[in-house]
Copies of this chain bind each other. A is one copy, B any other.
Amino acid sequence: MRTELCDRFGIDVPIFAFTPSEHVAAAVSRAGGLGVLGAVRFNDPEELDKTLDWLDENTDGKPYGVDVVMPMKVPTEGTSVDLQAMIPPEHISFVDRTLQQLGVPPLPEGEGREGVLGWLHSVARSHVDIALNHRPVLIANALGSPPVDVIEKAHAKGVQVAALAGAAKHALSHVNNGVDIIVAQGYEAGGHTGEIASMVLTPEIVDAVGPDVPVLGAGGIGRGRQVAASLALGAQGVWTGSVWLTTKEYENLGSNPAMTDAFLRASSADTVRTRIYTGKPARLLKTKWTQAWESEDAPTPLPMPLQNLLVADAHNRMNAANNPDAISMPVGQIVGSMNEVRPVADVMADLINEYEETVKRLSSL
């Protein structure tokens, strides 16, 4: 499955793997794909710097990418204290009440309670600056076009820029801003996502941006048949994410075993698209936490970045509590086929083998 992207990035297969884990990213890159490290979890830019040092040393010289979360328009900014003051008390009491009902204990004394500052524009900018001091081949932005000066800075270093789009008009606008590669993020995808499913969205974006702009199909891709389907739809490669959450390498991130259990037992019907994670619609695993936000007395989620600040402490507490019924985690509908914990290299091999079988089957019809 070599496409033009393989030459562009020096990779064997156009399988792009978004992951918050440097261990997964490195393993994907070593297996011939492009591991893309999610930077949003790094509140401390120095920690990202060290992690990218580690990636530089553990990818056998293979390329990798970095993913940031940066709205094009600079949102309300300030210190986390200023933003906290904008959160209505009824939202805070709903979160407290819900955690109590779900039996989520407080964090042990002394454990950090900070939200994920990567959602803040200034922090995301620092992520880009640090990344560009390493050797990524791609900066991807999980929220559409990054600001034009960020794109120019990346280009000046010879780094390509990818942006997510859930509609053809957004993809066109990204291209006009200088974005090199569009990730067509279908409805079925985990995390921020629109309402148009991959089957319709991918060819629409491919046709809109024309043959000179490569499109990565995203959403619902965890098997080789889905890679083949996405390439059939006109994508030059695939953007995967959820499928790496149940790999052996992901466990190195210190994720709790309850979360892995929750993924393994979930069916494709066990996700929900909701604004409760960041303020923008994102697909999460359906749990008692997401259900609580659907109850009659639940408040309307706050806009980005306030919603994430509101729930950040709750996320930390749920993650520490190790209860598969009360977690908050983005994942796509592909979770239904994530049924065992496997090494990244095995998942990659299966993606490639099933892709090849599929194309052979189609050719023989």
Contacts and interface: CB of A to CB of B under 8 A. Distances in A.
Interface of A: 1-3, 167-168, 186-188, 194-201, 203-204, 219-221, 223, 225-226, 228-234, 267-269, 332-334, 336-337, 358-359, 362-363, 365
A225 B198 contact: no
A231 B1 contact: no
A291 to B, nearest CB: 15
Contacts of A269: 167, 194-196
**Count of identical protomers in the assembly:** 2
A199 B188 contact: yes
A343 B2 CA distance: 37
Contact of A229 (B167, B229, B359): B229
Contact of A197 (B167, B198, B225): B198
A3 B199 contact: no
Given A225-B203, A225-B234, A232-B225, A196 B363 contact: no
24 contacts: A167-B268, A186-B197, A187-B187, A187-B197, A188-B200, A196-B268, A198-B199, A199-B219, A199-B220, A200-B220, A200-B268, A200-B333, A201-B268, A203-B225, A203-B226, A225-B233, A225-B234, A228-B229, A228-B232, A229-B233, A359-B363, A359-B365, A362-B362, A362-B363
Contacts of A334: 200
Contacts of A229: 199, 228-230, 232-233
Given A188-B197, A199-B230, 14 more contacts: A187-B187, A196-B269, A197-B333, A199-B219, A199-B226, A200-B268, A200-B334, A203-B225, A203-B226, A225-B233, A228-B232, A231-B365, A232-B232, A359-B359
> 3 shortest A-B CB distances, which residue pairs?
A199-B220, A188-B197, A229-B229
A241 to B, nearest CB: 14
Contacts of A203: 223, 225-226, 337
A196 B197 CA distance: 9
Contacts of A223: 203
Contact of A363 (B220, B234, B337, B363): B363
Nearest to A219: B199
A221 B200 CA distance: 8
A228 B114 CA distance: 48
A232 B267 CA distance: 22
